[in-house]
Amino acid sequence: MNKTKHLKTRLSSATPANLLQNILLCVLIIFLFPAITQAIDYIVGPGDVLRITVYDHDDLKTTVRVTENGHIVMPLLGQVKVGGMKTSDVSDQISRLLADGYIVNPQVNIFIEEFRSKKAVILGHINKPGLAELRGSTTFLELISQSGGLKEGAGDTATIKRTQDGKQEVIVLSVKALVEGGDLSQNILIQDGDTVYVSKGGMCYVTGEVKDPDAYSCDQETTVLKLIALAGGFTGKASQSSVRIVRLVDNKKTILEDVDLGSSVIANDVIVVPESFF
């Protein structure tokens, strides 16, 4: 109960800049347990540390690191090839080998003590960019959490560069659709060797007769009215019908006069709210 109350307090006191990160953490908590159940499908590789137990045979209990060529050393059996196999298949293989003249109906359990074989690179607007170890079946949200969460000003999209069957592909994920729309198809599994890049959000500027002139994050769905609302709304001196946008078009400054408040903006737009003289 205390943990739930603490989480609610964090969310209620979150600033707009940190809201996306808090939502990501909540989504991660909700979907954490299904992700854990996928760990049985983890594919063992060099550097992983396995803890192996055989029911009612404590003398066979061992903790071993997978060698570069994918082998482990198991009591009674010597070297056993496990690299590239799922943990469930490793358990079945060791059970078959032990049943061949050593133990009647052996029950073997495999636990991953350390995940070392699979890595991804995460870059961009993230708090801890760099090399990340993939601890079992790691989703996009879990990788974000593992890397310290999004930085303030992070954008609505992330890209993944992946080599699949010798061919390079680029996958574009919508962070906004995942978090705000609950589109779990965006929460894909990260693969060994992936490079994940979290984009920087676009910024627009609001100046003139608004209460809090400043820079605010914006995207293709942001309107002039929404930016003015983020800036605290019009002051009493504002000319609401004379709002203009200063925009760079082909590196040249263009001024859009008397724009509709429902007009969409683009990154780097400057929204100017002039003073009314009447």
Q: Are strands 108-114 and 244-249 parallel, antiparallel or unpaired?
A: unpaired
Domain match, 122 and 196 both = yes
- Burial annotation 179-200 (CB, 10 A radius, 16+ → b, else e): beeeeeebbbebeeebebbbee
The CATH number of the domain holding residue 75 is 3.30.1950.10
Residue with tokens 């920087």: 200
pLDDT digits (tens, 9 = 90+) for 64-89: 999 999 999 999 999 999 999 999 99
pLDDT digits (tens, 9 = 90+) for 173-229: 988 888 888 899 999 999 999 999 998 888 899 999 999 999 888 887 899 999 999
d(CA 100, CA 78) in angstroms, rounded, equals 14
Domain match, 256 and 122 both = no
pTM above 0.85, yes or no: no
Domain match, 265 and 206 both = yes
Task: State how many domains the chain has.
Answer: 3
Q: Average pLDDT, stretch 226-254?
A: 92
Domain match, 90 and 148 both = no
Domain match, 127 and 195 both = yes
d(CA 32, CA 48) in angstroms, rounded, equals 22
Per the model's pLDDT, the better-predicted residue between 27 and 155 turns out to be 155
Domain match, 82 and 189 both = no
Is residue 209, in this structure, part of any structural domain at all? yes
Domain match, 143 and 195 both = yes
What is the per-residue pLDDT for 9? Answer: 40
Tokens coding 231? 């800036």
Radius of gyration of the chain (CA): 27
- Residue ending a domain, among 135, 166, 200, is 200
The CATH number of the domain holding residue 194 is 3.10.560.10
- Residue ending a domain, among 150, 182, 200, is 200
Domain match, 185 and 207 both = no
Using CA atoms of 247, 253, 257, 262 in order, give the dihedral in degrees to the nearest 10. Answer: -10
**Cβ partners under 8 Å of residue 141, min gap 6:** 24, 27, 28, 31, 178, 187
Is residue 278, in this structure, part of any structural domain at all? no
- Residue ending a domain, among 73, 88, 114, is 114
pLDDT above 90 as % of the chain:
59
Domain match, 127 and 11 both = yes
Is residue 127, in this structure, part of any structural domain at all? yes
Is residue 122, in this structure, part of any structural domain at all? yes
Domain match, 35 and 48 both = no
Alpha helices in the chain (DSSP H): 2-12, 16-30, 32-37, 87-99, 140-146, 175-181, 224-230
What is the per-residue pLDDT for 109? Answer: 95
pLDDT digits (tens, 9 = 90+) for 19-45: 555 555 544 444 444 444 344 568 899
Q: Which domain holds residue 23?
A: 2-39+118-200
Domain match, 256 and 222 both = yes
